[in-house]
Chain A
């Protein structure tokens, strides 16, 4: 069965510093990969997605992620964070050839940005 591991449960960082949130998945087949952000008391917002093509994917709010098939990783990066980036971040995977399009999520990483 598919699984997603987010290696850090909490990441504290200062404003304007770079950040990397790590995500590994377990699958021997092709997958689609996603990062979502959840602000307090809200639903999930899609940050970026990898379906095919270039392994470097750019998303909203200055975030980007790199798909590494050999390491089964999809780490999220931002070169300079803002206070407003404080939120919960979820990595998710789905399989192209299954009956439906269910997303399997990791447990999340709490990004805390302080001044």
Chain B
């Protein structure tokens, strides 16, 4: 049973560029959440997708956007990258209204 997978593993981008991160949820899960984890900090909630709609959003600017596909996989897009966007981006999946979430290994984004 495959767990949550994310791609790519690592990514280096330049300020002002745009980036797309991808996530496939655990088998049987239909809800995907994205978190940003800065170095030495706890994860911060970006947004959550369910039934291809953004169901909940954290305190992140509009530069952060997402999408969920009919197969429940998801993308996180970040426009106009800033140095402060450098972080580990974690994807988590869950089922419907269940609150326990299962995390992928993350994508390490470095903005130079």
Contact = CB atoms under 8 A, between A and B. Distances in A.
Interface of A: 4, 32, 34, 36, 42-46, 49, 51, 90, 92, 94, 96, 98-108
Given A46-B100, A103-B43, 11 more contacts: A34-B99, A44-B103, A92-B42, A98-B56, A100-B33, A100-B56, A102-B45, A103-B101, A104-B45, A105-B44, A106-B42
A105 B105 CA distance: 17
Contact of B55 (A46, A94, A100): A100
A43 B99 CA distance: 18
Interface of B: 4, 31, 33, 35, 40-45, 48, 50, 55-56, 58, 90, 92, 94, 97-106
A94 B41 CA distance: 18
B100 A34 contact: yes
B60 to A, nearest CB: 12
A102 B103 CA distance: 13
Contact of A101 (B35, B42, B97, B102): B97
B105 A43 contact: yes
Contacts of A103: 33, 35, 43, 45, 92, 99, 101
A102 B58 contact: yes
B56 A102 contact: yes
